[in-house]
Structure 1
Amino acid sequence: MPKLTLSKNALLILEQRYLKKNDKGRVIEKPEDLFRRAAKNIAQADAKYNNSKNNVKKTENEFYNLMASLDFLPNSPTLFNAGRKLQQLAACFVLPIEDDIHSIFKTLHDTALIHKTGAGTGFNFSKLRPKGDMIESAGFTSGPVSFMKIFDAATEQIKLGGTLRGANMGILDVNHPDIEEFITVKSKENVLTNFNVSVAITSDFMNAVKKNKNYKLISPRTKKTVKNESARRIFGLICGQAWLNGDPGVIFIDRINDFNPTPKLGAIESTDSCGEQPLLPYESCNLGSINLSNMVENKKINYEKLKKTIHIAIHFLDNVIDMCDYPLKENRKIVEKNRKIGLGIMGFADMLVKLGIAYDSENGLKTAEEVMKFISKEASIASMNLAAQRGAFPSWKDSAWNRKSRYFKGCHMLLRNATRTTIAPTGTISIIADVSSGIEPLFALSYIRRTAEGKTLAYFDKNLKKALMENRLYNDEIIERITKEGSINDIDEIPGRLKKIFVAGSDIEAEWHVKMQAAFQKYVDNGISKTVTLPKDATVEDVEKIFMMAFELGCKGISVYRYGSREGQVIYLSSKRDEQIT
């Protein structure tokens, strides 16, 4: 059994959010107990497929070792709830909103049930008629943004599984008549604080932007054009608002549906709360992430270890579907038809550091493609192996993976899971693993993170600390400067070879962020949660270039954040050295 080694910050997060507590709020579970509890519970799904008790125990040990080694961690609800009363294990849900009051408030009720279990929700509000449109009671509707505010207020009252506030994604189609109100709704602080917002952009719209043409705003009720609008003006408004404080992001909805594996079941309209997981109405998905930092040995990627990790992780995630107690009967019905899972990564920036490769380099992009191509291939093989033992996902016959289906798209595979890969932001589980989040570069080499509970966690990059010690540069003066600046770019004593490798996100040109996301997207079934971090002096034109580049390079969505553009920034540079270096 691997020895579990956790940083101070990891222990703090586990105690605050994950470990079991008694009625007095006292922690009554060790981290090892948490991983054992989750492993034992998720392994029980094997019994459904006629496995012996010995095999179930073997699976339990494999799952425990996978997590205790920090080689892989599942999404937070699995760690919160596996083997406990709630037993709701998925992180991502999408709920439909139709243009009638019963649908709207049924979805609000369903949202409350989901948030109580520790998951997030995504909605597309585009079917709601625009502000000022007539309704049956002879009055006028207040429009989709007003209903978003109702959802936001309800979310504020519900604590996610007793540990986190609810998280929502609100989406509106770019051709909705209320699109301007939606784009600017978060221009002031403390509005829709429980929502990320994204504009669903079509390929036609982006082409109209390029050609400086008008496009149509269409009433969702009458399906008639209500106005011809300048695509370039609306695009500029989106980018200007994103520059202001990070919202909205954009999703490229046509591209998302081009990769919809089950189009017979409907079109995808929305994503989960962080944007990486496109889902059908009522669908949910459970996610997990491989720690790529742990896959490097002697400055090389250990592909055998990575392969083994992938196969066990796919087994784990497929089992989660069977062990999950879904909040709604509609959830279980669609989830069991498609059995979507999302295996992703964290610690990519740490991997590059260990390999001696700069994030913002052609070699960095090449490494991203090679690693993700390998993960995608092995995840599909693992899913096919499970399909041979347990059966393909029930909607496979009419899916894009069956050569006899009218929806076939050129790659025949008998799969257990309609999708296998997703790259999530891994905000909290990357803290537990003590690695960089998702595919993001290092935010800074030293920084402060503010938690949802109001605590502050101080970070100093552990790989940099090791490199400085090896080069006899780890002294108070240098540490003080790194802590204040978050970067080593302007420190003359530090050699150029280290500056090239230890690059902070704010020191990376925006185009490299987009290129990196596009490199990964080539081999990811679902989407990617990635934020392009911009310096404070970035311009609206910079944002316009980023969004257009993301569209042209094949991304499914993109968001930006300009440093210091929000009062309640979660991660920020420290003004002085903090003794809690982890």
Structure 2
Amino acid sequence: MEVTQIDQKAEKSKKTYTNDEAYESALAYFKGDELAARVWVNKYALKDSEGVIYELNPDEMHRRLAREVARVEKKYPNPMSEDELYALFKDFKYIVPQGGPMAGIGNPFQIASLSNCFVIGNEGNSDSYGGIMKIDQEQVQLMKRRGGVGHDLSHIRPKGSPVKNSALTSTGIVPFMERYSNSTREVAQDGRRGALMLSVSIQHPDSESFIDAKLQQGKITGANVSVKIDDDFMRSIVDGKPYKQQYPINSNNPSHVKQIDASGLWGKIVHNAWKSAEPGILFWDTIIRESVPDSYADQGYRTVSTNPCGEIPLCPYDSCRLIAINLYSYVENPFTPEAKFNFDLFKKHVAYAQRIMDDIIDLELEQIDGILNKIKEDPEADEVKRVERNLWTNIRNKAVEGRRTGVGITAEGDMLAALNIRYGTANATDFSIEVHKALALSAYRSSVDLARDRGPFPIYDYNKEAKNPFIKRLFKSDPKLAEDMKAFGRRNIALLTIAPTGTTSLMTQTSSGIEPVFMPVYRRRRKVNPNDPEIRVDFVDEVGDSWEEYTVFHHKFVTWMEANGHPTTKNYSKQELDQLIEASPYYKATSNDVDWLNKVRMQGGVQKWVDHSISVTINLPADATEELVAELYVEAWKSGCKGVTVYRDGSRAGVLISDDKKKEEEQEKATFSKKRPEVLEADVVRFQNNKEKWIAFVGLMDGRPYEIFTGLADDEDGILLPKSVQKGLIIKNRDDKGNSRYDFCFENKRGYKTTIEGLSHKFDKEYWNYAKLISGVLRHGMEIGDAVHLVAGLQLDSESINTWKNGVERALKKYIPNGTKANRGRCESCNSENLTYQEGCLICTDCGSSKCG
């Protein structure tokens, strides 16, 4: 800790910058790219806990990274210099440390891990409450250090299993999904929430409940979910045969066994993914069969789950750091007939990337030692600190033993376009496989060379790996590699991955990861002052705000335009833009119009040269069928993919607004009839405010809110309503004095109709007055998002009324269609105005951060 304190003092003596100064410098660095500048300042610029910034632009960050990696290099033979390393990092051109490494290396102000990915678990897969709570605490401890976490739930007893406590039977998997999801939402990571992956085996008797858990709005919103599907299940689908589920899933003497119709469960997986983009699928037998670390399963390296995006399958307490190689930068003479890929330079840089990754493990061990020292010095009792201390001790041991790395790529889509190859074609697939084969062989060669100079990872055993399909593939392509690996060993237990590279690609100004370009040209809006004579108003929304629309070109599309003589400053019409795109290598090569089956086959071909996994999403149009989703899944399994996710346009919050959708947005908003019907269908929405139970009755017309009644539930003055009641009717009646009243009618479990009379009199009078105001604006057709904004803006003095107001916001947010753009506000992480609603939460489509409430 003394070193850290000295370094902090040294850093604090350096020049500091305001947010505006750093942003302006970064804006110049990124040549006017506002989004890239904002992302860098908010997420990666060196700053202390008070937000004081110590780096003016990314060039200073790259010097910091080079300086720290060079310090580690000096420990080993033939060290690389700081200048050599800086040249590789500079301008995000060749090698890009991702996320944790970029923000954390050389950062004396933050005691955090450099790892991007973690998986946790229990010895013996204990499903006791103590074991489950331990995992919950470990998850929180990792997330507060920036880590994304995954863990598997297949060890939890099925619902209804006998237990030796007062409950008598197990609650099953779903309640613990909610617990872990809620824990994720509670932990802030520099203005964003943590990331969590929950998985379960299709063999588990509760897997159907797991698959359905996220369909209910507001449930499990803090986790991604994936199903681990084995080959037997897929064969049952293809052959139309039944499938056996059991618990424990790997037991030769299970306590629970049942035969199921595999096609029924398969249909549910397909439907849910088609509807909501989840669950993802992990082809678990392929993962285990191809996993090099699983050669050491008897030494604690049995893979149990993946990180949140699925690209790193891991054993419990292992972690991984990520680096991306910018593939576009190896294309010489891009977008011209002379374009070619410089394989020699690429292979040389892959070797450097693997070496840098190994250095970053040493830097991570320093960080973990700092975390352990911090835990030791904390004034809490040892009993309180025990789980956290053991967690980081276990992670440190795995990092020392295996030295796992994650060398990956970004800009695959731009690389292919720059070579005039259309993404999704057979030629593109063949070339991508050639590139990733070269990457794998070069990285493994580098790891062997590092083992010769620095020593192999401590548990390396040539014979244990001899039958691994991935290793056999490498050796067949390079017999000399096999000889040298047998002689010297290998420095790292596993080396390669392909991650999403979301914010990384914003700074490389390229397409993301292995994905094609999302759109070469798209439209954005920015709010403007209509009184400014220099401003053009293109759109006025329903609340009167003015917006200017402007065309945004993908960076490398601009490079194509310049290479082919098309002016980049011209104000193109929609027709002219369409003609430009059609003439480019990006035509029919974007995420929404590539050949989906070919994309799956490409992923399977590339996967053969990636020892971890690939994060990839198959983007489908809104009219894609469930049958197509099922076909893609089967093809992915047959092609050798380790996992696959589908996203159907509109099933979740989108990323950008296409020109086709713009017309739909600009249509007049329908208004409801001002005369209230006597009977309305209604939803019952329950929520908690300040630990009090509240209830809302939301009258619906054409599926959207028309009126709302809400207040305290289950007290002597409130509403007593069975918890099973979720829907009913609101009927407008008159009391004995002729005054109007609103009754709620519902059907109980026995089929009898029950009526609660006078909703307007059941709640506090002040609640009712505000409810009439809100119902009035809903009935006149105000957009739900604007109604929520109206409620949020009410200036109320009473604490109880403010509590009520928050509840109304929550109730109404549930009805905002996923993908609806917020007309107000900015992202707290990247300052973007591109906010959309998803399951009642505001999601930033630029940086991915979310805000719920």
**Same fold, judged at TM 0.5 (above):** yes
2:36 aligned with 1:10: yes
Tell me which moved more, 162-171 or 186-195: 186-195
Is residue 2:407 matched to residue 1:378? no
Q: Report the 3-state secondary structure (helix = DSSP H, G, I; strand = E; otherwise coil) of the residue aligned with 1:109.
A: helix
Aligned partners of 1:198 and 1:250 also within 8 Å:
yes
Aligned partner of 1:233 in structure 2 is 264
Aligned to 1:320: 360
CA distance in 1, matches of 2:575, 2:129: 57
Q: In structure 2, do the counterparts of structure 1 residues 520 and 180 end up closer, same or farther at CA, with 3 Å as the change threshold?
A: same
Is 1:38 the counterpart of 2:65? The answer is: yes
SS across alignment from 1:370: helix
Return the alpha-carbon distance in structure 1 between the equivalents of residues 278 and 524 of structure 2. 20
> Partner residue of 1:214?
242
Q: Counterpart in 1 of 2:317? A: 282
User: Which residues in structure 2 correspond to 1:453-468 (within 5 Å)?
Assistant: 459-468=552-561
Asked if 1:311 corresponds to 2:351, the answer is yes
Deviation of the 1:551 alpha carbon: 0.3
* SS of the residue 2:291 aligns to: coil
Q: Bigger CA drift: 334-343 or 18-27?
A: 18-27
Contact 1:442–1:505 under 8 Å retained in 2 = yes
Give yes or no for the alignment of 1:264 onto 2:298.
yes
Structure 2 gaps of 5+ residues are: 1-27, 334-338, 372-391, 476-481, 526-548, 664-831, 835-845, 847-853
Whole-angstrom CA distance in 2 between matches of 1:12 and 1:254: 42
Distance of 1:437 and 1:362 partners within structure 2: 21
Residue 573 (structure 1) aligns with: 658
Q: Alignment partner of 2:597: what SS?
A: helix
- Does residue 61 of structure 1 match 2:87? no
Tell me which of 174, 189, 193 is aligned to 1:145. Answer: 174
User: Could you say which residue in structure 2 is the equivalent of 1:485?
Assistant: none
Please, which of 444, 453, 456 is the counterpart of residue 392 of structure 1? Answer: 456
Q: Which sections of structure 1, spanning at least 5 residues, go unmatched?
A: 451-455, 483-487
Residues 125-140 of structure 1 mapped to structure 2, 5 A cutoff: 125-139=153-167, 140=169
Range moving further from structure 2, 495-504 or 110-119: 495-504
Q: Tell me how far 1:495 sits from its aligned partner.
A: 7.7
Question: 1:458/1:397 Cα in 2 relative to 1: closer, same or farther (>3 Å)?
Answer: farther
- For 1:63-142, list aligned pairs within 5 A: 63-70=85-92, 71-84=94-107, 85-97=110-122, 98-139=126-167, 140-142=169-171
CA distance in 2, matches of 1:136, 1:33: 59
Cα deviation, 1:105-147, whole Å, max 9, x if unaligned, reads: 1121111121112120111100000122222214122222211
Q: Report the counterpart of residue 439 of structure 1 in structure 2.
A: 514
**Displacement of 1:5 after TM fit?**
4.9
Looking at structure 2, the residues matched to 207 and 447 of structure 1 have their Cα atoms a distance apart, in angstroms, of 43
Asked whether the equivalents of residues 400 and 408 of structure 1 are also in contact (C-alpha less than 8 Å), the reply is no
- 1:460 partner letter: F
Greater CA drift, 273-282 or 510-519: 510-519
What is the RMSD computed on CA atoms of the aligned residues? 3.0
SS in structure 2 of the partner of residue 344 of structure 1: strand
Report the TM-score, using the length of structure 1 for normalisation. Answer: 0.89
Change in 2 beyond 3 A, CA 1:479/1:92:
farther
Tell me the distance in 2 between the aligned counterparts of 1:207 and 1:232. 11
Looking at structure 2, the residues matched to 360 and 397 of structure 1 have their Cα atoms a distance apart, in angstroms, of 39
Post-superposition shift, 1:188?
3.5
Q: Distance in 2 between matches of 1:275 and 1:449?
A: 31
Asked whether the equivalents of residues 393 and 415 of structure 1 are also in contact (C-alpha less than 8 Å), the reply is: yes
In structure 2, C-alpha distance between the alignment counterparts of 1:433 and 1:519, rounded to whole Å: 26
Whether 2:562 is the aligned partner of 1:535: answer no
Q: How many matched pairs?
A: 558
Q: 2:188 maps to what in 1?
A: 159
- TM superposition shift of 1:181: 1.0
Question: Residue 104 of structure 1: CA displacement?
Answer: 1.4
- 1:276-302 Cα distance to aligned partner (Å, 9 max, x none): 111111111111110001111121111
Distance of 1:449 and 1:202 partners within structure 2:
43
Per-residue CA distance 1:517-558 (angstroms, 9 max, x = gap)? 112112111100000000010011111001100000001111
SS in 1 for 2:513: coil
C-alpha deviation, 1:446, in angstroms: 2.9
Q: CA shift at 1:460, angstroms?
A: 1.9
Alignment of 1:345-424 (within 5 A): 345-397=409-461, 400-401=464-465, 411=475, 412=482, 413=485, 414-424=489-499
Alpha-carbon spacing, 1:144–1:355, altered in 2? closer, same or farther (3 Å): same
Q: 2:225 & 2:289 partners in 1: Cα distance?
A: 22
The answer as to whether partners of 1:95 and 1:122 remain within 8 angstroms in 2 is yes
Q: Deviations over 1:56-95 (max 9, x none)?
A: 5x43323222221311111200111111232511101000
Q: Could you say if the C-alpha distance between residues 29 and 525 of structure 1 is closer, same or farther in structure 2, counting changes exceeding 3 Å?
A: same
Once the two structures are superposed, residues 482-513 of structure 1 have per-residue CA deviations (whole angstroms, 9 ceiling, x without a partner) of 8xxxxx6xx3x448542665621111121022
For 1:244 and 1:288, locate their aligned partners in 2 and report how far apart those are by CA, in whole Å.
33
- Which of 237, 250, 253 is residue 281 of structure 2 equivalent to? 250
Say if 1:61 and 1:473 are closer, same or farther in 2 by CA, change over 3 A.
closer
Contact 2:118-2:317 within 8 A present in 1 as well: yes
Distance 1:218 1:433 in 2: 47
Q: Distance in 2 between matches of 1:252 and 1:5?
A: 40
Deviations 1:443-482 (A, max 9, x none): 11234799xxxxx998521232343453547576645468
The alpha-carbon distance between structure 1 residues 572 and 495, as it changes in their structure 2 partners (threshold 3 A), is: closer
Aligned mates of 2:237, 2:100 — CA distance in 1: 41
CA contact (8 A) 2:157 2:172 kept: yes
Per-residue CA deviations over 1:325-361 (Å, capped at 9, x if unaligned) read: 2361101112221111111110011011110000021
Q: Say yes or no: does 1:27 pair with 2:91.
A: no
> What is aligned with 1:453?
none
Look up the match of 2:596. 510
CA distance in 2, matches of 1:114, 1:47: 30
Q: What is the Cα deviation at residue 164 of structure 1?
A: 2.9
Kindly tell me: are residues 28 and 357 of structure 1, through their superposed partners in 2, closer, same or farther at Cα, counting changes over 3 Å?
same
Q: Secondary structure at the match of 2:321?
A: strand
C-alpha separation in 2, matches of 1:343 and 1:457 = 37
Q: What whole-Å deviation, never above 9, does each CA across 1:12-65 have from its counterpart, x for those lacking one?
A: 10111111235553433122222222222233323443x5xxx65x43323222
Secondary structure, counterpart of 1:536 in structure 2: coil
- Corresponding residue SS for 2:408: strand
Letter in 2 for 1:427: G
Percent of pairs with identical residues: 32
Q: Does residue 182 of structure 1 match 2:210?
A: yes
